[in-house]
Amino acid sequence: MSELTHDNLCNMSHGETAFSVEDYKKGVPRWCPGCGDNSVLNSVQKLCKDKQLVPEKTVFVSGIGCSSRFPHYMNTYGFHGLHGRAFPVAEGVKFRRPDLNVFVVTGDGDCCSIGTAHWIHAIRYNMNMTVLLLDNNIYGLTKKQTSPTSATGTRSNTHPHGSVLPPINPIQTTLSVANASFVAQTVDWKPAHVFETIKAAHEHKGFSFVRILQRCPKFMGDLYETTIADQSALTLLTHENGIKLDEKAEKSFKNIIKHDPSDINKGREYAELKDSIPIGLFYQNKNAPRYDEYGAHNIGMPVKDRITAINKELDKYAV
């Protein structure tokens, strides 16, 4: 019998096993009825089934917030971490286990406030993982405080007379960081677009950042009420290299812009649209360097060689 090493363990065959959507479900989601998190969960479970992602080789990492309960409802490996610290945990997982499918699920508070520094550097590292920013423009878990993405004038428990500062634009922010490689946006009430966007993000080899604008029926129930009813409130970015929708789904959009996702400057321009919400793929660079590829060069090194290398480095400091 051959020695069971890290490499052959990762490549063990699962035979002809076919996973169903039910194989990825775990527990009963405790989100409020009508919460956009439910829509995203359905799309992710469908993606896992369509891609036949092996549950024990798939990891969901989150921080703190309503969105960050996501790993509890996936029958895969999961890590529910500290507030704002999902990215370094996910990077550590990917750095040592490049064979795993790594997803990060975060919220507008978790990512864009306490986790901002980790978010910025994770973009630059461009490690191969799918990032879902579930953005409802409010701190929901702690019962309605202004978040970094809350629009000016939003009334909350921290700003009862309305927030006074302009919000962060997560798409524009991500596009402004060196080595960004995949930046997209979608909305929870367009399930076909949500699924295709997450699918494209997963297929991209690099840091795939997807902002999902979503409803919080409890604390921001009227935020997108008029938007959902108004067909001109969304602008679809489309291109042969962008998010692919079938003809029927595409016809549901009144505003359509042909946008080549290789053009980062146009992507930045469309990210700032004011009269409607742009959804689609803003930018993609398949050739951006990935830090996980750099870090994987010594994964197959035998233990004795690792010890020798460590001792060699320590010998430099011998007196």
Residue among 292, 113, 144 nearest 221 (CA): 144
| Within-domain flag for 276 | yes
CB 39 within 8 A of CB 214: yes
Q: Which two tokens stand for residue 84?
A: 């704002």
pLDDT of residue 14 exceeding 70, the answer is no
pLDDT at residue 12 in the model: 44
Tokens of 309: 């290398």
Q: Is the CB of residue 157 less than 8 Å from the CB of residue 150?
A: no
Task: Look up the CATH number of the domain holding residue 55.
Answer: 3.40.50.970
Q: How many distinct structural domains can be found in the chain?
A: 1
The share of the chain scoring above pLDDT 90, in percent, equals 86
Could you tell me if 120 and 195 are in contact, meaning their C-beta atoms sit under 8 angstroms apart? no
Q: Identify whether the C-beta of residue 120 lies closer than 8 Å to the C-beta of residue 179.
A: no
What tokens does 18 get?
A: 């076919």
pLDDT at 8: 44
Residue 296 resides in a domain: no
Tokens of 33: 């009825």
Longest dimension (CA), the chain: 74
281 located within any domain? yes
- 44 vs 35: CA distance, rounded Å: 15
Residue pointed to by tokens 């604008």: 213
Contacts of 20 (CB under 8 A, 6+ apart): 49
Reply yes or no on whether the pLDDT at 1 is more than 90. no
Does 305 map to a domain? no
User: Tell me: the pLDDT tens digits for 76-90?
Assistant: 999 999 999 999 999
Q: Is residue 303 assigned to a domain?
A: no
Contact indicator for 264, 270 with CB cutoff of 8 Å: no
- Residue 100, classified by CB atoms within 10 Å of its CB into exposed (0-12), middle (13-18) or buried (19+), is buried
Token pair 């895969």: residue: 76
User: Is 318 part of a structural domain of the chain?
Assistant: no
For residues 75 and 80, give the distance between their C-alpha atoms in angstroms, rounded to a whole number.
Answer: 14
Q: Rounded mean pLDDT of 136-141?
A: 93
Asked if residue 265 is part of any domain, the answer here is: yes
Q: How far is CA 64 from the centre of its chain?
A: 15
Residue range(s) defining the domain that contains residue 218: 6-290
What average pLDDT does the segment 188-195 reach?
Answer: 97
Average pLDDT, the chain: 93
Residue pLDDT, tens place only, 280-307: 999 999 999 999 998 777 777 888 988 9
Which of 268, 135, 131 minimizes the C-alpha distance to 212? 135
Cβ-contact 237, 259 below 8 angstroms: yes
pLDDT of residue 16: 61
pLDDT at 319: 84
Q: Is residue 319 part of a domain?
A: no
3 state SS for 119-163: HHHHHHHCCCEEEEEEECCEECCCCCEECCCCCCCCCCCCCCCCC
Between residues 93 and 303, the one the model is more confident about: 93
pLDDT of the residue at 91: 97
**pLDDT (average), residues 161-170:** 96
